[in-house]
Amino acid sequence: MSKIGLIIARELKSKIYNKTFIVMTILAPLLITGFIGFIIKMSQSEKTEQNVLVIDESKLFTDKLSGNDYISLTFSNLKLNEAIGSFYEKGYSCLLWISPTIIEGGAGATKLFYKKSPGFGFQTFMKDQMERIIYENKLRANNIDPNIILNSKQNVRIILEKVNDVGKTEEQGSFGFIGFISGALMFIFIMMYGMMVFRSVMEEKTNRIVEVIVSSVKPFELMLGKIVGVALLGIIQFVIMGVITLALTTLLSALFLKDVSSQLQVFEQQQELVKKQGTNVDLSKLEKFDDKLEVFELLKSIRKINFTEVFICFFLYFLGGYLFYSAIMAAIGSAVDSESDSQQFITPVMIPLMIGYFISTKTILDPDSTTVFWGSMIPFTSPIVMMSRITSGVPLWELLISLSLLFVSFIVMTWLAGRIYRTGILMYGKKTSWKEIGKWLFYK
Amino acid sequence: MAEILGIHNVSKRYSSHIALHNISFSVQQGSVFGLLGPNGAGKTSLIRIINQITGPDTGEVLFHGEKLQPKHVERIGYLPEERGLYKKMTVGDQVLYLARLKGLPKYEAKKRLKIWFAKFDMESWWNKKVEELSKGMQQKVQFIVTVIHEPELLILDEPFSGFDPINAQLIKNELLELKKKGSTVIFSTHNMGSVEELCDNIALINKAEKILDGSVKEIRKTYRTNTYKISFKGNPLGFINALWAGGDLLDKHTEDEIHSYTIKLAPKVTSSQFLQAILPTCEVHSFNEIIPSMNDIFIMKVSEVNQETGTQSNYTE
């Protein structure tokens, strides 16, 4: 037993002091959160103050077009040519010119002059308003009250409620994204650490040190020590990456999502109030969050995810899936002499993982389909597929069966791998085939 | 002398061929034992069984009269033919790791390693990575790792292949010293010179079967052909006449009036009878029996067996 400890320690030490490992562990979460932060930042419209001079030659928009917190509009009757030369000096950031023929349509009906680009958000803001005004105008021209049209439009929101075995309902977050991400992460992690075991086994074989070692310990112990060593390494890396990611996301969300969360709080309080007091509430006194409703939905569905469950499951499935696949990888590593020979063996192992990944993409659309169910039961794909299902609510019995299947298969696979391994590591110079490996299973 | 290792009817087959067939022999404590045989004869298979890397299909191996068990690995040292080290690991970490795998506690391993490193004058290598060492340096490291736990039984697979002559000599000396301290050494080799120099006993394996074993002296005696080399001064005619009595002239050579003849005596003629016959006619300078070398015996036995089975020897050296 103490010898396995020595093997585990060596395996860990040889990898943990590796520069690539250290850089990877620290850099990866920085890159990932940095990337996500960047995307969020990019998707938020830039709130630069805009002081706009509007020359409305159509006279359609005067007093109808309005600004907001950071966009202020000034209407003017100046000639366009004069205004172009002087708007910037007079303190306007841009000049919006609306042609007299705008209602007739056609491109180039309106122009925006600027010195510093006002950005896409601003353009959309102005464009949407103008389109709405023209739309209402045309409706009125045909004697239709725009309010009728407006009131006949109704949004429909589907709320998912799952009825559980005791007949109680619970609202489900339809947030497949987290599931999909954890499925993809699982795929990457299993592959990465599986390859690590594979390389480590092959290194010992090609180094020819393996025979010295197996004269001191049983080949099975060596293999197990290796697998456990890399597993520990994975857990360490996982924890470090997790802590860094958590710290960074907390920091980032404190920076970027602070407004939204406090607004959400107000919104929820208001909803409570309406629920309790009914129509007695003076609706006009309430803050309006119409444009934020989607973000609120997102935040609420994220909050609804049981992260403890997700983390525990991720850990267990990572462990089981890794152990299962790394046993296969160790067997393959023992069978080949060089990396170039290894492809024919690695590809067939990759395929079930890939299938798992594809099934997991299906989960978002249809989490309770038969394919997804079986995919989350069969050990070859279950770590990935189950993770993608996890946020849509998986009954405990399914989890337990899937996990037991995974761990039983891991034990069987390790036993089989051990039989291949002890023969493989001492076979040199022979091109190995699947048939040959099959024979090794039955050597005494 | 007590038996340290007993091989009893060991057989091992792989799917396509038989590696060992019914091999038995015994190794005495404190002796140096040579395991000889052409390439592919099954030597490495047998050595791996003794090291418990694989197990025999049938038969058993006894260590001090006890059936081989995992605990015995700490009393056996093994230097495989395909020997290597972790290239990226430092020498110190590596030898310490391998020594501890053999069951030595850390402080004890460190203490002994320091002694060995000083002995081979390689203290400065401790913090170097193995890939920085030359092949000869790595061989020294490998040898130290093999003997660090002071094994009672030392097994070396082709220890002299790949070693440069200086290291080979160094290792020969160390082996003899270990033997003096009471260790038993088994090694497989192609190098028949080293067999005569080092081995007390041998076993010769060919095509999975043992075809010869025993003490080197005895074997060489058994394979005596009653051949002598004699150098003398005087009339060769008288010598030839005396040879009539019972013997053949195999070779002759004359230099500065000294004749060197190689003769093979008939089985019934003893060397003293022959000497008595020639002494009246010539002045004898030297008279030596030509005992076949292990190399001769090896080639003779192997080709004998191969002729019987009608196959060609795959032995090449």
Distance from CA of B52 to the nearest CA of A (A): 7
Distance from CA of B127 to the nearest CA of A (A): 15
pLDDT at A258 over 80: no
Which of A14, A207, A216 is the closest to B102 by Cβ?
Answer: A216
pLDDT at A174 over 60: no
Instruction: Say whether B14 and A444 touch across the interface (CB within 8 A).
Output: no
Q: Which two tokens stand for residue B261?
A: 């003849």
- Domain ranges in chain A are 2-30+175-440, 50-152
Residues B140, B84 within the same domain: yes
Interatomic CA distance for residues B231 and B103, integer angstroms: 59
Instruction: Say whether B53 and A426 touch across the interface (CB within 8 A).
Output: yes
Interatomic CA distance for residues A304 and A306, integer angstroms: 6
Q: Is residue B311 part of a domain?
A: no
Residue A154 dihedral angles phi and psi, to the nearest 5°: -140, 125
Residues B203, B248 within the same domain: no
Q: Is residue B298 part of a domain?
A: no
- Could you tell me if B137 and B125 are in contact, meaning their C-beta atoms sit under 8 angstroms apart? yes
Residues B46, B74 within the same domain: yes
Residue A72: beta bridge partners?
A51
CATH number at residue B61: 3.40.50.300
Instruction: Say whether B82 and A428 touch across the interface (CB within 8 A).
Output: yes
Interatomic CA distance for residues B144 and A91, integer angstroms: 86
**A408 part of contact set with chain B, CB < 8 Å:** no
Q: Is residue B306 part of a domain?
A: no
**A428 part of contact set with chain B, CB < 8 Å:** yes
Instruction: Say whether A14 and B97 touch across the interface (CB within 8 A).
Output: no
Interatomic CA distance for residues B305 and A250, integer angstroms: 80
pLDDT band at A122 (very low <50, low <70, confident <90, very high): confident
Residue B261: beta bridge partners?
B230, B252
Give the model's pLDDT for residue B78: 92
Q: Is residue B158 part of a domain?
A: yes
Instruction: Say whether A422 and B87 touch across the interface (CB within 8 A).
Output: no
Instruction: Say whether A212 and B84 touch across the interface (CB within 8 A).
Output: yes
Q: What is the pLDDT along chain B (317 residues), one digit of tens a residue?
A: 688 899 999 998 877 788 898 999 999 998 999 998 888 888 888 999 998 888 888 999 999 988 988 888 889 999 988 788 888 889 999 999 999 998 889 999 999 999 999 988 888 989 999 889 888 888 889 999 999 988 999 999 888 877 778 888 888 888 888 889 889 999 898 777 778 888 889 898 888 888 888 888 888 888 888 888 889 888 888 788 777 767 888 888 888 888 888 888 888 888 888 888 888 888 888 988 888 888 888 888 888 877 877 654 444 33
Residues B179, B39 within the same domain: yes
Residues B184, B270 within the same domain: no
Interatomic CA distance for residues B72 and A216, integer angstroms: 9
Q: Which residues of B touch A209 (CB under 8 A)?
A: 83-86
Q: Which two tokens stand for residue A316?
A: 């267990």
Domain end, chosen from B217, B243, B258, is at B217
Interatomic CA distance for residues B68 and B65, integer angstroms: 9
In chain A, the percentage of residues whose pLDDT exceeds 70 is 83
Which of B57, B84, B101 is the closest to A207 by Cβ?
Answer: B84
Residues B211, B229 within the same domain: no
Burial class (CB in 10 A: 0-12, 13-18, 19+), A217: buried
Residues B105, B240 within the same domain: no
Q: Which residues of A touch B82 (CB under 8 A)?
A: 208, 211, 428
Q: Is residue B36 part of a domain?
A: yes
For A311-359, write each residue's pLDDT tens digit.
888 889 999 999 999 999 999 898 888 777 788 888 888 899 999 988 8
Superfamily (CATH) of domain A50-152: Periplasmic binding protein-like II (3.40.190.10)
Instruction: Say whether B101 and A6 touch across the interface (CB within 8 A).
Output: yes
Sheet strands side by side (includes B153-157): B76-79, B153-157, B184-189, B32-36, B201-206, B209-215
Distance from CA of A319 to the nearest CA of B (A): 27
Number of domains in chain B: 2
For A57-100, write each residue's pLDDT tens digit.
888 787 778 777 778 888 888 888 888 888 878 788 888 888 88
Q: Which two tokens stand for residue B10?
A: 């060991």
Which chain B residue shows the shortest CA-CA distance from A18?
B88
Domain end, chosen from B217, B251, B272, is at B217
DSSP per residue, B3-24: EEEEEEEEEEE-SSSEEEEEEE
Residue B186: beta bridge partners?
B33, B155
Instruction: Say whether A214 and B53 touch across the interface (CB within 8 A).
Output: yes
Q: Which residues of A touch B139 (CB under 8 A)?
A: none
Q: Is residue B9 part of a domain?
A: yes
pLDDT higher at B71 or A293? B71
Give the model's pLDDT for residue A339: 76
Give, as one character, the DSSP assignment of residue B130: G
Interface with chain A: mutation pick from B82, B94, B142, B144, highest number of A CBs within 10 Å: B82
Which of B14, B70, B80 is the closest to A212 by Cβ?
Answer: B80
Instruction: Say whether B98 and A422 touch across the interface (CB within 8 A).
Output: no
Residues B140, B247 within the same domain: no
Q: Is residue B300 part of a domain?
A: no
**A5 part of contact set with chain B, CB < 8 Å:** no
Q: Which residues of B touch A428 (CB under 8 A)?
A: 82
pLDDT band at A309 (very low <50, low <70, confident <90, very high): confident
SS3 annotation, chain A: CHHHHHHHHHHHHHHHCCHHHHHHHHHHHHHHHHHHHHHHHHHCCCCCCEEEEEEECCCCCCCCCCCECCEEEEEECCCHHHHHHHCCCCCCCEEEEECCCHHHCCCCCEEEEECCCCCHHHHHHHHHHHHHHHHHHHHHHCCCCHHHHHHHCCCCCCCCEEECCCCCEEECCCCHHHHHHHHHHHHHHHHHHHHHHHHHHHHHHHHCCHHHHHCCCCHHHHHHHHHHHHHHHHHHHHHHHHHHHHHHHHHHHHHHCHHHHHHHHHHHHHHHHHHHHHHHCCHHHCCCCHHHHHHHHHHHHHHHCCHHHHHHHHHHHHHHHHHHHHHHHHHHHHHCCCHHHHHHHHHHHHHHHHHHHHHHHHHHHCCCCHHHHHHCCCCCCHHHHHHHHHHHCCCHHHHHHHHHHHHHHHHHHHHHHHHHHHHHCCCCCCCCCHHHHHHHCCCC
Residues B131, B40 within the same domain: yes
Residues B32, B118 within the same domain: yes
Q: What is the domain extent for residue B235?
A: 225-289
Distance from CA of B160 to the nearest CA of A (A): 17
Lowest mean pLDDT, pick from A127-141, A251-265, A282-296, A354-368:
A282-296
Residues B136, B282 within the same domain: no
Give the model's pLDDT for residue A282: 60
Residues belonging to chain B with any Cβ–Cβ distance to chain A shorter than 8 Å: 14-15, 48, 51-55, 57, 70, 73, 76, 78-80, 82-89, 93, 97-98, 100-103, 142, 145
Instruction: Say whether B53 and A212 touch across the interface (CB within 8 A).
Output: no
Q: Is residue B121 part of a domain?
A: yes
Interface with chain B: mutation pick from A204, A207, A215, highest number of B CBs within 10 Å: A215
Residues B181, B75 within the same domain: yes
Which chain A residue shows the shortest CA-CA distance from B85?
A209
Distance from CA of B195 to the nearest CA of A (A): 24
